[in-house]
């Protein structure tokens, strides 16, 4: 929620609006070049982790990026 509130405020200053579609967590292991997306947000529910994973793969093509709905 903290990240969303800061981002929404910054976008509002630029005349833009946003909506949080869900949340989750990231486990980042830079030495292994791995990112795992999992879990959910108590306040916002679960994001579509497959979308998050595809966006991360585009930004980090040399990483192994996985996701699961399990976990908090």
What is the tens place of the pLDDT at every residue in 1-32? 888 999 999 999 999 999 999 999 999 999 99
Q: Is the pLDDT of residue 35 over 80?
A: yes
Q: Is the pLDDT of residue 72 over 80?
A: no
C-alpha distance from residue 64 to each of 15, 19, 22, 33, 43 (Å): 36, 28, 23, 6, 29
Which tops the pLDDT comparison, 69 or 59? 59
Which helix (H) or strand (E) segment is 54 a member of?
helix 49-59
At 70 the pLDDT is 81
| pTM recorded for the entire structure | 0.82
At 71 the pLDDT is 74
CATH code, residues 21-68: 3.50.20.20
């Amino acid at each position: 929620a903290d990240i969303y509130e800061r981002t929404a405020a910054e976008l509002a200053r630029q005349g833009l609006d946003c909506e949080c579609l869900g949340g989750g967590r990231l486990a980042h292991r830079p030495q292994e070049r791995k990112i795992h997306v999992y879990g959910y947000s108590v306040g916002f529910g679960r994001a579509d982790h497959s979308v998050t994973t595809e966006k991360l793969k585009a930004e980090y093509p040399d990483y192994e990026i996985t996701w699961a709905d399990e976990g908090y």
